[in-house]
Amino acid sequence: MFENSIRRTPRPQDVAGMSTQQLRETFQISNLFAPGELRGHFTDLDRLVVGGVMPAAKPVELPNHKETGRAFFLEQRELGAINIGGAGKVVADGKTFALDKLDCVYLPVGTKQVSFESSDANTPGKFYFLSCPAHAAHPAAMMKSKDASPVALGSQETANKRTIYKFIHQGGIQSCQLVMGFTALEPGNVWNSFPPHTHWRRTEIYFYFDLGEKVLAHFMGEPQQTRHLFLHNDEVALSPNWSIHCGCGTGNYKFIWGMAGENQVFDDMDAVKPPDLR
């Protein structure tokens, strides 16, 4: 079920004086997946909702919550979900989308009934989802990871050789304001999104997965007042529009990125030069 409390974001000047525990309680989300459950968190970052669904023997339905202020969850929202587990499917208003690992589905505003299912309860699907307010409907759609127009970035010399897979964006699945995809680092590479950037026009949320027992340091905060969070597998880092967002792990990994805000231009960002970081 959804948490009753809303993750509220402090001001940048307040973050500078927060303790490690306060940072974790504010910007980190863990324990998103439990067998047979849907777990979610409302945030005040562009009204994004972060959630995870891990169906077992029975389908798990997307419930409504009083925080939507509507008759059903997607009455005035859209949703994107990426499967990071075993094969499964999403059923939306009677239409079935079969998702293997790393496939994505998009559900538009106005979708009334949504359920998540695993093809095999012994190897359950794990659906990570983001939802944001929407004022225009686009067709429900899914995309296989092989069709996500991969873009290679970085190099082995700088330990950030990685491939970006874009699902929900201007050149892919159309949405009202949600943008979503994932990045996979090559073996022997550990840095993501470095050099870092900010984008005042959009929030961004990172979900790190396929870490195994590896540990990751996620860097956040204003460029001249940086902070960090140590994250483990299947954990989320919330990133306000004023904060950098990059990470370095003890090995390679993957992460799902998602954004919502005033535009959907992927490269609309304000670059930060490494020598200027503090």
Containing H/E element for 184? strand 179-185
Q: What is the pLDDT of residues 1-29, one digit of tens each?
A: 899 889 999 999 999 899 999 999 999 99
Q: What is the pLDDT of residues 60-98, one digit of tens each?
A: 999 999 999 999 999 999 999 999 999 999 999 999 999
Q: What is the pLDDT of residues 38-51, one digit of tens each?
A: 999 999 999 999 99
What is the rounded distance in angstroms from the CA atom of residue 121 to the CA atom of residue 129? 20
Q: What is the pLDDT of residues 181-222, one digit of tens each?
A: 999 999 999 999 999 999 888 899 999 999 999 999 999 999
pTM of the model: 0.96
Fold of 2-10+19-276: Jelly Rolls (2.60.120)
> Cβ distance 225 to 218 under 8 Å?
no
Residue spans per domain, the chain: 2-10+19-276
What is the rounded distance in angstroms from the CA atom of residue 74 to the CA atom of residue 238? 22
Would you put residue 149 in left (φ > 0), alpha (ψ -120 to 50) or beta? left
What is the rounded distance in angstroms from the CA atom of residue 209 to the CA atom of residue 173? 23
Q: Which of 274, 251, 257 is nearest to 190 (CA)?
A: 251
Note the pLDDT of residue 53: 98
